[in-house]
């Protein structure tokens, strides 16, 4: 799967990922202690929705633009973060996860970004120059482990691979196992695309074998049945989500499902525990 993000910025996957990420960080910030926020696959940080690549797919029309047309207050925090990088009523620029996290950090928090692709890393440095974020250009999985445990007592690692390599899921699984041994209490968020249910169920079976407690799976299926050969949705694995986050999650997910469902489909969005606990 080739996932150069400039073609897909502001799509339904971004809306779900960033809405959930905002809610998660806000819940953790109910405590005053410092957070370290780490983005292992940061991308370029800011995307032009009017650019040739984004216009070629038109995916923002079914994602962020729907959020701006929907009056639901559940999306207020998300819309505020998108508006912050735009001028005018309708968004022309889309903030990637680095920009989302930069708007959430408090003075006591630390933001660490990583992007291996040289061209995207150069753009990222320029976009994030005024934020005080540390920007690295390293292998994402090596950096993930190297930064653990975080210097602050609490933290969040966001892992958002492009899934271009056939062994990407295996690398995520192996690195997660090693990271959890080093940082068992930390919060980890792993984004993934959904192409078909059978493939995804096999991956979840491998992840269950890690026997990690408090392992949540959020799955957003756009269509009522798999559409062969196309993107069917996306999801997030979240390790150690805080109680305040999980309690507020159901209404946000239902709002997202309703706003993003393609015409003629109801779609589903669920949050379940891989370990059968919670």
The domains of the chain, with CATH numbers, are: 5-273 (3.40.50.150)
pLDDT digit string (tens) for the chain, length 278 residues: 444 576 778 999 999 999 999 999 999 999 999 999 999 999 999 999 988 777 776 788 999 999 999 999 999 999 999 999 999 878 999 999 999 999 999 999 999 999 999 999 999 999 999 999 999 999 999 999 999 999 999 999 999 999 989 999 999 999 999 999 999 999 999 999 998 888 899 999 999 999 999 999 999 999 988 887 778 899 999 999 999 999 999 999 999 999 999 999 999 999 999 975 54
- Examine the residue annotation and report whether 224 is marked as an active-site residue of this protein: no
Among residues 14, 160, 196, 226, which one is catalytic?
160
Residues ≥6 apart with Cβ < 8 Å to 269: 16, 218, 219, 220, 221, 253, 254, 256, 257
Of 18, 127, 38, the closest CA to residue 82 belongs to 18
pTM of the model: 0.94
Between strands 215-221 and 110-114, the pairing is: unpaired
How far is C-alpha 151 from the geometric centre of its chain's CA atoms? Answer: 23
* Residue carrying structure tokens 């899934």: 163
**Separation between Cα atoms, residue 248 and residue 265, nearest integer Å:** 25
- Residue 17 — φ and ψ, nearest 5°? -55, -50
How many residues would you count in the chain? 278
């Amino acid at each position: 799967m080739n996932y150069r993000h400039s073609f897909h910025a502001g799509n339904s996957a971004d809306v779900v990922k960033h809405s959930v990420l905002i809610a998660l960080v806000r819940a953790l910030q109910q405590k005053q202690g410092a957070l370290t926020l780490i983005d292992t696959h940061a991308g370029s940080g800011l995307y032009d929705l009017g650019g040739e690549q984004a216009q070629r797919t038109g995916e923002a029309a079914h994602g962020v633009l729907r959020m701006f047309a929907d009056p639901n207050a559940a999306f207020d925090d998300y819309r505020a973060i998108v508006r912050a990088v735009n001028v005018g009523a309708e968004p022309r620029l889309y903030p990637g996860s680095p920009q989302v996290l930069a708007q959430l950090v408090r003075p006591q928090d630390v933001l660490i970004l990583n992007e291996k692709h040289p061209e995207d890393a150069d753009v990222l440095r320029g976009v994030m120059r005024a934020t005080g974020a540390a920007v690295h250009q390293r292998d994402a999985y090596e950096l993930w482990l190297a930064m653990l445990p975080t210097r602050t007592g609490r933290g969040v690692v966001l892992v958002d691979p492009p899934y271009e390599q056939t062994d990407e899921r295996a690398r995520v699984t192996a690195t997660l196992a090693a990271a959890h041994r080093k940082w068992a209490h930390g919060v980890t968020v792993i984004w993934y695309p959904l192409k078909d249910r059978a493939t995804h169920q096999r991956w979840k079976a491998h992840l269950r074998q890690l026997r990690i407690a408090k392992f949540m799976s959020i799955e957003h299926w756009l269509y009522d049945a798999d559409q062969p050969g196309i993107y069917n949705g996306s999801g997030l694995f979240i390790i150690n989500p805080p109680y305040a986050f999980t309690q507020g999650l159901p209404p946000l997910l239902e709002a997202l499902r309703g706003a993003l469902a393609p015409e003629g489909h109801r779609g589903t969005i669920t949050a379940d525990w891989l370990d059968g606990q919670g």
